[in-house]
Amino acid sequence: MARRASPAVADLIESLPEGPDFSHEAMLMARGAQRIAGVDEAGRGPLAGPVVVAAVRLDPERLPQGLNDSKKLTAARREALYAEIMACAEVAIATAPPDEIVARNIRGATLAAMARAVVALPRAVDRVLVDGRDVPPGLPCEGLALIGGDGRSVSIAAASIVAKVVRDRMCAIMDCDAPHFGFSGHKGYGTAAHLAALNAHGPCRHHRAEFAPVAALLRPSTD
């Protein structure tokens, strides 16, 4: 039989804010950190296009309202928050293109891009909050990995929004370059329409050669 939370615990749970907050940043600041950045990526799963990583250092005095995991926001809301973040935060963006993804594998390419984004920030930070399980090697300071971080930390949530908006815009450019694939719609993910276009036209320069089913189409026939 499941145990119920005590009234005190239930009241505490009820009072917790929904979505990410500044508590992880505040904890690090209480331990001596002065400048903290959040890092997240967009585009690990698609068959085409780059992985885009953003590093964002928010101003604690000017936190945009409504920051959340980019996947939980509408496109219009992401665009509005993107503009707010760019106006009041320090932001850097790094990408891992398809050839780097092939060379390093998706995990290695993503972690390398995360480190590049942190290094590219306009001013150095002394702590980094990273979405996921891994702290990227090559960071210039200490990092803390947070599973589900885009739903726990406003800094990571801001990074997830920036990365998503930038990648979606890159997909629109890819769509202009290879319009028969429909990148603006599916953003490179393996939808039925994308797979049909891939089978009809073969891979283009934006596809990730090691990702199935792209790899299957590039593999020499044994017939």
Residue 217, CA distances (Å) to 5, 200, 211, 213 in order: 55, 11, 10, 7
SS3 192: helix
The b/e string for 112-132 (b: 16+ C-beta within 10 A; e otherwise) is bbbbbbbeebeeebebbbbbb
Q: What is the pLDDT of residues 90-127, one digit of tens each?
A: 999 999 999 999 999 999 999 999 999 999 999 999 99
pLDDT single digits (tens) 164-185: 999 999 999 999 999 999 999 9
Helices (H), the chain: 7-15, 23-30, 75-88, 98-119, 154-177, 183-186, 192-201, 214-218
3-state helix, strand, coil in the chain (%, to 5): 45, 15, 35
pTM of the entire structure? 0.89
Listed residue (149, 168, 170) closest to 67, CA to CA: 149
CATH architecture of 17-218: 2-Layer Sandwich (3.30)
Inter-axis angle of helices 154-177 and 75-88, nearest 10 = 110
Specify the pLDDT at position 18: 67
Q: What is the mean pLDDT of each run of 10 residues along the chain (223 residues)?
A: 40 54 96 97 97 98 96 97 98 98 97 98 98 96 97 98 98 97 96 96 95 84 49
* Spatial distance between the Cα atoms of 28 and 48, rounded to a whole number of angstroms: 37
